[in-house]
Amino acid sequence: MHTRLRDGGSMIMVTIKDIAKAAGVSPSTVSRVVSNHPRISKATSQKVKRIMEEMGYHPNMMAKSLVSKTTQTLSIMLPRPAEELFQDFFFGELLRGILTQSTRAGYDMLLTAATSPGDEIETVSRLVLGRRVDGVILLSSRVNDPLIDMLSKHDFPTVLIGRTDDHPNILSVDNNNEQAAYDATHHLILQGHERIGFVSGPPSLTVAQDRMKGYRRALREAGLQARSEWIVEGEFLQQSGYRAMSFMMSLPERPSGLVVIDDVVGFGVLRGLTELGYSVPDDLSIVSFNNIALSELATPPISSIDIGTYQLGYTASQMLIRLIQEETVHQSRIIIPHRLIVRESSIQALPKRS
């Protein structure tokens, strides 16, 4: 591993041995600093990196990869086409947490997306079997997910943001989504609402299933009905919330409170209600999930469950890097706490209109 520097118009070669000599350490120590080895002290690492910078040394990562059999690269498998994904601010914050931790640890990120489950398998197989990355982070989990099956079969370093019950060897970071939905629904019940609907996500996703369980449990414990016409399933897109309101607000008996699977879907709910001539919270109180920054800027500001999105991403990256570096991972599943942020979109229910 080396680089070339200009010295009086000529080119000179700087090697690891040159860096080691200038720093007063062994070449193996310099190699460990380049690899971000955890056993190198912070002071030594800073000293070596400073000298590397002064001497203009940049590691030849391809040669390093051939020697160490690592790529210093992680893959993030995006759960749906990128043009849809980046409409949801939740994923931007999730990626920010992943990238912050991975960058600090000296890893690059490779974003991959597919248009179908079959394409996902093919894409990730190329990365895994070709050893083009050291590990994979999955941003969502589906029921009976063939991608998780494949990664588990090859025992490839993987961290799932979500939940899987079928593969105990897959590490995961998640929220208690059932309890989070319970808390959102219970908040509306405490405000006096008895007719509470739910705009959910795709039933194939475990997060949608878990939040549905929490919603139903809260209603059941309060002696209230989870009426099928008050439950609408869709995608994690603003358009899903908009369409849900066209249906739900045309019912003979409408809900007075609404749990929404995602803040972006909640924006669609607000837009749909406004166009139909209804107002929040006078006609319908709303609680959603993720507490993205725009939730507070909506009209009215949306009550939302903060699920610690940044921490989900940061922790997933941290777990994966520890797994790759063969450090001890004390928990195979980490739960990030959630909290309800109450804003103007959910208030005490008004008397039922005739």
Model confidence at 301: pLDDT above 90: yes
Mean pLDDT of 132-160: 90
Mean pLDDT over the full length of the chain: 87
Out of 16-20, 72-76, 258-262, 307-311, pick the least confident: 16-20
The band of 272, judged by pLDDT with boundaries at 50, 70 and 90, is very high
35 or 299, greater pLDDT: 299
Average pLDDT value for residue range 65-87: 69
For residue range 192-202, list pLDDT tens digits in order.
999 999 999 99
Range with lowest mean pLDDT among 5-9, 313-317, 334-338: 5-9
Q: How many CA atoms are closer than 13 Å to the CA of 73, on its beta-carbon side?
A: 17
Say which range, 141-150, 186-195, 218-227, 311-320, has the weakest mean pLDDT.
Answer: 141-150
Note the pLDDT of residue 7.
47
**Segments making up each domain of the chain, as ranges:** 2-68, 73-175+309-338, 177-306
Q: Which fold has domain 177-306?
A: Rossmann fold (3.40.50)
Q: Is the dihedral of CA 341, 345, 351, 354 positive or negative?
A: negative
Given pLDDT bands bounded at 50, 70 and 90, which one contains residue 185?
very high
pLDDT at position 84: 61
pLDDT band at 119; cut points 50, 70, 90: confident
Q: Is 37's pLDDT higher than 80?
A: no
Strand partners, 304: 288, 341
Angle between helices 42-54 and 27-34 in degrees, nearest 10: 90
Q: What pLDDT score was predicted for residue 89?
A: 83
User: 73-175+309-338 has which fold?
Assistant: Rossmann fold (3.40.50)
Q: Of 308, 351, 186, 347, which Cα lies nearest the Cα of 259?
A: 186
Q: Is 177-306 in the same CATH topology as 73-175+309-338? A: yes
- pLDDT band per the 50, 70, 90 thresholds, residue 6: very low
pLDDT of residue 241: 96
CB-count exposure of residue 306 (10 Å: 0-12, 13-18, 19+): middle
**Would the pLDDT of 349 be above 80?**
no
> Cβ-count burial of 36 within 10 angstroms (0-12 exposed, 13-18 middle, 19+ buried)?
middle
Cβ atoms of 19 and 57 within 8 Å: the answer is yes
Per-residue pLDDT, averaged over 149-178, amounts to 92
Least confident range of 204-218, 265-279, 314-328: 314-328
Say if CB 235 and CB 263 are below 8 A apart: no
**Confidence band for 354, pLDDT divided at 50, 70 and 90:** very low
Decide if pLDDT at 298 tops 90: yes
CB contact set of 184 (below 8 Å; sequence gap of 6+): 214, 215, 259, 287, 288, 289, 305, 340
pTM score above 0.95: no
* Both structure tokens of 141: 């989990």
The alpha carbon of residue 121 and the mean position of all alpha carbons in its chain are separated, in whole angstroms, by 20
**For residues 27-32, average pLDDT:** 83
- For domain 2-68, the question of CATH label 1.10.260.40 is answered with yes
d(CA 126, CA 196): 46
66 confidence band (pLDDT: 50, 70, 90): very low
Percent of the chain topping pLDDT 90: 57
Report residue 86's pLDDT band, with 50, 70 and 90 as the boundaries. low
How confident is the model at residue 239, as a pLDDT? 93
